Structure 1
Amino acid sequence: MASQYNRFTEAYNVRLEAATLAKNRPHPIHLANTEELRYRRPFDCEFPGQPSHIASYTKGLPHDPKTGLLIKPNDFQTFIRALDAGDEFSIREVPLGPQIPEPRFISGIASTPKADGSPTDVRAWESMAAGNTYDLEGPDAHAVTMPPAPALDSKELVYEISESYWMALVRDVPFTRFDDDVVRDAVRSLNQTEWIRFLAKGGPLPPSLSDAQRKRLRKPFTIDTVFRGVTKGDLEGPYLSQFMLIGNSGIANGNKIEDGFVQYGAHRVDQKVRAVEDGRDYMTTFKSFVDVQNGADVRGREVYSDGFRFITTPRDLATYVHFDALYQAYLNACLILLGMKVPFDKGLPFQLDDDVDKQQTFATFGGPHILSLVTEVATRALKAVRFQKYNVHRRLRPEAVGGLIEYYHNNPDSEIVAGVKPLYEALDKDMLNRVSMHNESQNKLCDGDVPRMSDFEDGESSATRLLPMAFPEGSPMHPSYGAGHAAVAGACVTVLKAFFDHGHELRMPDENGNMVPFAFVPTRDGQSLKNVISEYGNKPLTVEGELNKVCSNISIGRNWAGVHYFTDYRESITLGEKIAIGILEEQKLTYGENFSMTVPLFDGTVYRI
């Protein structure tokens, strides 16, 4: 009985110790930018002097079909009250959809109907209350934070929305052909933004920049660095991480890694993705833009090509992150690393020969342990980033910025969007002209036998400056900052870097059995992979570099779709990293073995657990 009592007591004490560790983490102050109440409605319109909320996320609330802006300021306050309350009854009181004549889209009033002629439904907001939940492991959702998001009138947003526009314009250029003229034009255009010129000019930086802003400054781009991430390894080798392309050898060495099959037990999963039709974008008419801001559920209306291919273009990557199981890429990476027998972190136990250790890893410090942990951190990162999205920042999506730019372009004297003037005037007008020509060509395409021009209101131009979207429905139904994909990426990749020897070089056997480095890219048709390591000086890629790169690929894949900005990626991966480290620290208290983990962080430093 005494032994059993001691076990009860010890188990309780371990939980107390973990709870004390969590309690002692300082809860930061959560700071948003000052835009939510800054911009006001003119006094000669309805709701005079009330906040216009042009710089806030309002998607799903009723919007004016002529301006694309929020109709009633009180709707936004109802939205905020529901977010703070976090209960289903308060959330049900928030007006959803155009409310004309009911929260549902009727053909001729709003969105085109479904294929069967029935009305188009609205989309509900996604997990509004998730940030208010509690957890029994890891940092509380409120114990991590993100700095204020770039403001509507900031030089940083000029760069960010310019990057969004250029990403849309080069969405169909293969990653292996980034020497294309339009990519070179993108580089020149982005390098002319004030945000990039801060570092290009040299000298002291403006004292008004915060520490977070200084860390986010970008050096001038080249065709080899544009649209890439900023962590160690992002600029090494091909654009795509090897973990997004290769597989493992599988049972009885039945596959080559370049076949792209990831072994799931006796099954195998192909790394190829379903290809969507090249050159087709969405939300390029103002009417369709307003419909989507009203929450029109137009999901599933994208058009697919026949067959599958390796991720070849940014549009393919956008398709991947449209449908991924959120932690899918990191689970694949873990299986590939295990299949390649990449060694674990040197601080972990049971890595000697069996006749020395007398036990093998499995339930702890082995494959099942790390595979389950990769998925375990994902949901906790999602809760933390949901709190930032809904309860702190409420940042408008890039598509909404495109809507503001389009409306201001056509109505420069409208007082309700006067706050858009600094952003609009700073944008590259040649870039905007390219966008308008791109959208005009999009709007003359046909959906079946029906030209898209039929979606226009009388007198509406087909040459809009709206942000062309890869998804018919545009962004998800939640604010932009932070990014769920990026937060999960940061958490999952941190776990993998903690368990595996992050400095290990990736090699494969050649025809003579020699272990040689590799760097695969898709062939032009996307049907196979070719090794181009010689183009990179035969320098081996590392576990850390390719894990960081898969984190950036997935996060920036959402930017390629048009649904996120650069800062959403940059700040969210760090938030996810903090969640993962907190979980690893608490779990370490539960083991009897004396061990350590050395984790390379995204900022280039190293953290030891």
Structure 2
Amino acid sequence: MGRRRDKKSNKKKCVIGPLNAEKRNEKAFKVRYKAAKFQREAPLLDHLCNGDECLFPNKIGNFSKGLPHNSLGEVDINSYNIFIKALDSSKVNDFNSIPMGGVVKLANPQGAYVFDLIGSDCHKMSIAVPPTFSSSWAAGEMVEIYWQSLTRDVPFQEYDTNPLTIAAASEISGLSDFRGPKVHGAVTTETLFRGDTPGDLVGPYISQFLWMDIPFGARTITQQYRTTPAGSDHMTSYEEWLNIQNGALPGAPIFDPEPRYIRNGRDLAEYVHLDFTFQAPLSACLILQGFGKGAIQQSNPYLNSATEGGFVTFGAAHILDVVTKVARVSLEAAWFQKFLVHRRIRPEEFGGRVHNHLIGKARYPIHTELLDSQVVSKVFNQFGSYLLPMAYPEGCPTHPAYPAGHACIVGAGVTVLKAFFNETFVIPNPVTVTSDGLSLIPYVGAHLTIGGELNKLASNIALGRDTAGVHWRSDGIEGLKLGEAVAIEILKDFSKTYNESFSGFSLTKFDGTTITIK
């Protein structure tokens, strides 16, 4: 363009480049317009729920925590109907009119209506229908969650020898519709409580990205975290359980004075209790940036450049921005599904149904595989109730179960990381943890790759919430897929914005298929 003199100020204009201001302005508009037009023309979807809300007039199959309940923990129908009216209208006054059972508030239901300027609209993202209340599928998931609560203090290193985890694998293997990973049709102590993505069954239970040191600017963060002592289980008395359902404040937690590397389910549950939204993907991103050139995705236009390096685009600033940006957008998609489509019951609420059914206070259509399970009897023998022992004093958050917000966030973040980094790169100097969680030792075994360990990280974060008792397996597994879909749509938008010669983002999805986003 060259320089021109501004007649009014008598100063030289110094902007150079292939486009003048008018042409640049028009091209910027066209980039945004084309992205918006592409999203608008995407097919509209029907959002199907599991039908429990219509099937049960007393709403026993739906989330209602924080609203007033009767002595059985069944929601006050008038309050529930006002809650539904507010969701249907989206009016602030209707939300302010919802009768609450205590002091605890609902977790941001109006977040379900938000719009965003990148990616697909959150109301156009689809997700599978979750299990119904009385199904064998739901029963299998609840059996697994009960076992996860009883095995929180078993070190992952001891799963092969501990009687509790051996019993858990055996009973879960016998369930008619359990959908977790298996080997030759059976759940083993090697597959127990793991995810089903490529890499999940290779190496230690915990991803390297939750153990390795994190480069954090001018310092290094050691991944030893605050945890809670063995046996710190909550909401096993009926009075405590009912008070929490009605929105009462919980008691104060007790913490282990020694920070530890994540070595068992309790440690993992506490990590996903207090983490900030994109903590795990951000930590993984910082670790990955220290692995060198070989860890960079082959499609990166600066990988072999003799004169340039990436930064604002295809470098650290770019990747850090996108991996954090997708977090809130994935939550938008989750909140739409949670509040406006499914309103799925939480496991702790379901545990109340199991308890009242088995002590004869109520009759609920709960599948016999759960009612007759070994684990339910073990819970009663240990705690004196059939309630689900919770890792957190407050139990689950006050928003519906399906899908898991943690899963959506980490699913989106991991998808971005796989788009920017080389999934086949073998992680150097892998580690595992001692049974006391006080130190890391070298891992010796099959090679661990970036792709596999990112998938494992996603499963750890998603299913770690199950270990706490606040989510179902399908909440996490389907949440990962929803987060992945959100990230892919955002990467589609961004792929149209670069000046570089770029062949597209290539990555392996959680289902094992590979895609290229151009």
> TM-score band, normalised by the shorter chain?
over 0.9
Pick the aligned partner of 1:315 from 266, 270, 273: 266
CA–CA distance in 2 between the matches of 1:22 and 1:81?
A: 30
Q: 1:474 aligned to 2:395?
A: yes
Q: Distance in 1 between matches of 2:455 and 2:179?
A: 26
Matching of residues 530-569 of structure 1 within 5 Å: 530-533=441-444, 536=445, 539-569=446-476
Deviation (angstroms), 1:424: 4.5
Kindly report which structure 2 residues correspond to 1:10-89, keeping only aligned pairs within 5 A, or say none: 10-39=27-56, 51-64=57-70, 66-71=71-76, 73-89=77-93
Alpha-carbon distance, 1:346 to partner: 1.0
Farther-moved stretch of structure 1 (394-403 vs 340-349)? 340-349
Post-superposition shift, 1:275?
A: 2.3
SS across alignment from 1:306 = coil
Q: Which amino acid aligns with 1:232?
A: P
1:162 aligns with 2:108: no
Distance 1:197 1:151, change over 3 A: closer
Unmatched segments (≥5 aa) in structure 2: 5-18
Q: Confirm whether residue 227 of structure 1 aligns to residue 227 of structure 2.
A: no
| Residue 594 (str. 1) matches residue 505 (str. 2) | no
Deviation at 1:521, TM superposition (A): 1.4
Paired with 1:500 and 1:196, the residues of 2 have a C-alpha distance of 34
Select which of 96, 101, 104 maps to 2:100. 96
Alpha-carbon shift at residue 85 of structure 1 (Å): 2.7
CA contact (8 A) 2:143 2:373 kept: no
Change (3 A) 1:392 1:464: same
1:219–1:486 CA distance, 2 compared to 1 (3 A): farther
Aligned residue in 1 for 2:126: 145
SS at 2:123 equivalent: coil
Counterpart of 1:254 in structure 2 is none
Q: Which of 312, 335, 359 lines up with 2:308 in the alignment?
A: 359
Contact 2:227 2:260 in 1 (8 A): yes
User: Mapping of 1:127-526 within 5 angstroms?
Assistant: 127-179=108-160, 180-196=162-178, 219-247=185-213, 262-298=214-250, 301-341=252-292, 342-353=294-305, 356=306, 358-411=307-360, 414=362, 417-420=363-366, 423-424=367-368, 426-439=370-383, 463-508=384-429, 518=430, 520-526=431-437
How many angstroms apart in 2 are the aligned matches of 1:81 and 1:378? Answer: 29
Partner SS, residue 432 of structure 2: strand
Alpha-carbon separation, structure 1, partners of 2:105 and 2:370:
35
In structure 2, how many angstroms separate the alpha carbons of the residues matched to 1:321 and 1:585? Answer: 30
Asked whether the equivalents of residues 497 and 600 of structure 1 are also in contact (C-alpha less than 8 Å), the reply is yes
Q: Distance in 2 between matches of 1:400 and 1:22?
A: 38
Superimposed CA distance per residue, residues 52-95 of structure 1 (whole angstroms, 9 cap, x where no aligned partner) = 0000111111011x211113x12111111212333432211001
| 2:25 alignment partner AA | F
Partner of 2:296: helix, strand, or coil?
coil
- CA deviations on 1:179-201 (whole Å, 9 max, x unpaired) are 2111010111111111149999x
Q: Is the 8 A contact 1:196 1:218 kept in 2?
A: no
Amino acid at match of 1:606: T
Query: Percent same amino acid among aligned pairs?
Result: 38
2-structure distance, mates of 1:133, 1:125: 17
Q: Confirm or deny: 8 A CA contact 2:353 2:364 kept in the other structure.
A: no
How many angstroms apart in 2 are the aligned matches of 1:364 and 1:244?
27
Q: 2:452 matched to 1:528?
A: no
Q: Compute the RMSD of aligned alpha carbons.
A: 1.9
Q: Residue type matched to 1:276 in 2? A: T
Look up the SS of the partner of 2:357 in the other structure: helix
After superposition, the C-alpha distances for 1:2-24 in whole angstroms (9 at most, x for unaligned) are 82211111111111111112112
User: Letter of the aligned partner of 2:199 in structure 1?
Assistant: G
User: Distance in 2 between the 1:367 and 1:590 partners?
Assistant: 17
| Structure 1 residue 548, shift from structure 2 partner | 0.3
Where do 4+ consecutive residues of structure 1 move more than 6 Å?
197-200
Preserved CA contact (<8 Å) 2:100 2:247: yes
Q: Which amino acid aligns with 2:85?
A: R
> Is the contact between residue 347 and residue 471 of structure 2 (CA under 8 Å) also seen in structure 1?
yes
Which secondary structure does the structure 1 equivalent of 2:215 belong to? strand
SS of 2:44's partner is coil
CA distance in 2, matches of 1:507, 1:436: 46
How far apart, CA to CA, are the structure 2 residues paired with 1:13 and 1:425? 57
Deviation at 1:479, TM superposition (A): 0.4
Q: Is the 8 A contact 2:411 2:482 kept in 1?
A: yes
Deviations 1:251-296 (A, max 9, x none): xxxxxxxxxxx12111222210112111120000111111111112
Gaps of 5+ in 1: 40-50, 98-102, 104-121, 201-216, 248-261, 440-462, 509-517
Does the Cα contact within 8 Å between 1:491 and 1:578 map onto a contact in 2?
yes
Summarize the Cα distance change of 1:198–1:279 in structure 2 as closer, same or farther, 3 Å threshold. Answer: closer
Distance 1:587 1:197, change over 3 A: closer
- Mapped contact 2:181–2:196 kept (Cα < 8 A): no
Distance 1:5 1:501, change over 3 A: same
State the secondary structure of the residue aligned to 1:437: helix
Query: Aligned residue pairs: how many?
Result: 497
TM-superposition CA deviations, 1:284-325 (whole Å, max 9, x none): 0111111111112216x1111212010111000000000001
Match in the other structure for 1:6? 23
CA deviation string 1:157-195 (max 9, x = no partner): 110000010000101000111021110101111111111
Distance 1:531 1:86 in 2: 54
Match in the other structure for 1:604? 512
Give the Å deviation of 1:220: 2.0
Q: Structure 1 stretch 21-30 or stretch 492-501: which is displaced more?
A: 21-30
**Quick one: distance in 1 between partners of 2:235 and 2:345?**
16
Tell me the CA shift for residue 522 of structure 1: 1.3
Distance 1:165 1:591 in 2: 49
Corresponding residue SS for 1:603: coil
1-structure distance, mates of 2:352, 2:481: 30
Return the offset for 1:419. 2.6
Q: So what's the TM-score if we normalise by structure 1? A: 0.79
Separation of aligned partners in 1, 2:239 and 2:368? 21
Check conservation: 2:142, 2:370, Cα contact below 8 A. no
Q: Is it true that 1:576 corresponds to 2:483 in the alignment?
A: yes
